[in-house]
A = this chain, B = another copy of it.
Amino acid sequence: MKKNTNELYAAYTRLMQKAADINYAAAVLGWDQEVYMPPKGVTHRGQQLATLATTAHEMLTSDHYGNLLQQLWQQADLGDVEKNNVRLSLEDYEKNKKLSPEFVDKLSRLTSEGFNAWVDARKKNDFSVFAPSLTAMIALKREQAELYGYKAHPYDALLDEYEKDATVAMLDPIFEGIKAQLPVLLGKIKTAPQVSNDFFHRHFARQQQWDFSIDVLKQMGFDFEAGRQDYSEHPFTTSFSNTDVRITTRVDENNYASMLWSCIHEGGHGLYEQGLPGDQYGLPLGSAASLGIHESQSRFWENCIGRSLDFWKFFYPQLQKYFPEQLGDISVDDFFKAANRVIPSLIRTEADEVTYHFHVLIRYEIEKALIEGSLDPKDLPAKWNDMYEKYLGVRPGDDKTGVLQDVHWSHGSFGYFPTYTLGSFYAAQFYERAKQDLKGMNEQVTNGALSMVLHWLREKVHAHGRRYNSEELCERITGQKLDPKFFMHYVEEKYKSVYGMK
């Protein structure tokens, strides 16, 4: 690149990194809010987060920045990396410009308020406490969809924020496929004798659970010099750079299934964040591709690897050392089966890999209806419960185990849930490919040698940042776009070995 191009690009980088500094600062405040903040801290935290959000938004929507991007885009000698960064930044700029600073401020405040109302509603186990905030949030998200614009469905505009280029037209067939095919698999599983996971409910001391989770995360390759794990009510991953990645977990001493796979899941997210190119700090190529791809990483580790028999052949003896009394009488085979027990249930985050997607389906259909205005928020608990009965055959007895279980809507995250299913499906497709690419992968996993897997994910996924959208990335890695058949194949194979059916 010539001197002029270099100078323009340097100015662009400076501005982007300054905005990133502020957004990452907001991430620190967000992390603290859910991990350590004392209750009364909430009074000003929402305002502080709103100020950071609007400050970064102002930087990234300024005419100065827009002009810089336009100028850069016209430089014929932009390098490949530089060109991709500028291309993606221009797209973001056009999108961000559609939201006024007032809108961003309002959204940020309502997010904090909504979160607090949701926490309060959960405490009181009463949806009506959360309803006013939610109603206001839905109105704001519909406004946001109109501001962004869309071709077919207002929900498309919101989806795009989490999963670029994803649409209702792309998702509907996927969820129709789930509705058609998963009940067949579930039917087969039901006819087989149920596997037991009773021993998960023995007493597993908090500290030992924690220590073993750290062992597993280290073995996965999570760098504790560039990250840490803390407790929070709801596990999540956030990062303040690729050298400071925070994952959180929770422990239930009377349910071993509550913590470990959640740790592996967040560890998968964390590995993605640690694997993003550090020299692209604050730039699109230093960011994750999409939420669906992010979720593919967590699901890959949690389910494809972390719930496989191979994985436990290595780790189970170690786990037994932590819990000789609780697990001394349980074989690795029975542990593996328990870890993959299928049973319809009320709580999404505790669901198995099959019924999970009905949880997402329900949220997807509800979100579409809320955003298109065909569902009144006040009717939400009844609608929710009816759908659980219809799709899963279980009916929540209260709001806490029903419509109030997830934080997402309080954050205004409409369009987020479908990325969980996309993530699982991408994970299965990537896993199939990894097994082909990596000769002896299963054997390596059996020996606890997980670095081969991590290396493959680093090269295939992490290194690219946002250069490719999800479908492009999937095609690059597997030779084709997302095809749910890989997931179907994956679950059918798995449950054959768990339930012994043909």
Contacts from A to B (Cβ < 8 Å): 17-18, 21-22, 24-26, 28-29, 32, 36-41, 43-45, 47-48, 50-52, 55, 223-228, 230, 240-241, 243-244, 278, 281
Contacts and interface: CB of A to CB of B under 8 A. Distances in A.
Contact of A29 (B28, B38, B40, B228): B28
Nearest to A227: B38
Most buried by B among A224, A226, A243: A243
At the interface, is chain A mostly helix, strand, loop or mixed?
A: helix
A21 B36 contact: no
Contact of A36 (B41, B47, B48, B230): B230
Given A40-B226, A43-B241, A48-B240, 8 more contacts: A24-B44, A28-B32, A38-B224, A38-B227, A41-B226, A41-B240, A41-B244, A45-B240
A55 B56 CA distance: 10
**Which 6 residue pairs across A and B have the least CB separation, nearest first?**
A41-B244, A21-B51, A44-B241, A40-B243, A40-B226, A21-B48
B241 A38 contact: no
B39 A22 contact: no
A38 to B, nearest CB: 5
A410 B203 CA distance: 49
Contacts of A22: 48, 51-52, 55
Contacts of A52: 21-22, 25
Contacts of A227: 38
A271 to B, nearest CB: 15
Nearest to A244: B41
A243 B41 CA distance: 5
Contacts of A223: 40
Contacts of A47: 17, 21
Given A28-B28, A28-B29, A51-B21, A38 B281 contact: no
A249 to B, nearest CB: 15
Contact of A44 (B32, B37, B39, B243): B243
A389 B270 CA distance: 52
A25 B17 CA distance: 17
A36 B243 contact: no
A225 B44 contact: no
A95 to B, nearest CB: 23
5 contacts: A18-B51, A38-B243, A41-B241, A41-B243, A43-B243
Nearest to A54: B18
Contacts of A278: 43
A46 to B, nearest CB: 10
A221 to B, nearest CB: 14
A48 B52 CA distance: 12
A239 B389 CA distance: 49
B25 A29 contact: yes
Contacts of A243: 38, 40-41, 43-44
A355 B133 CA distance: 59
A26 B25 contact: yes
Contacts of A39: 225-226
A25 to B, nearest CB: 5
A49 to B, nearest CB: 8
Given A21-B47, A21-B51, A55-B55, A244 B28 contact: no
A106 to B, nearest CB: 15
Nearest to A47: B21
Most buried by B among A40, A225, A243: A40
A225 B41 CA distance: 8
Given A22-B51, A25-B25, A28-B29, A44 B281 contact: yes
Contact of A225 (B24, B28, B40, B244): B40
A38 B225 contact: yes
A244 B37 contact: yes
Contacts of A50: 21
A341 to B, nearest CB: 35
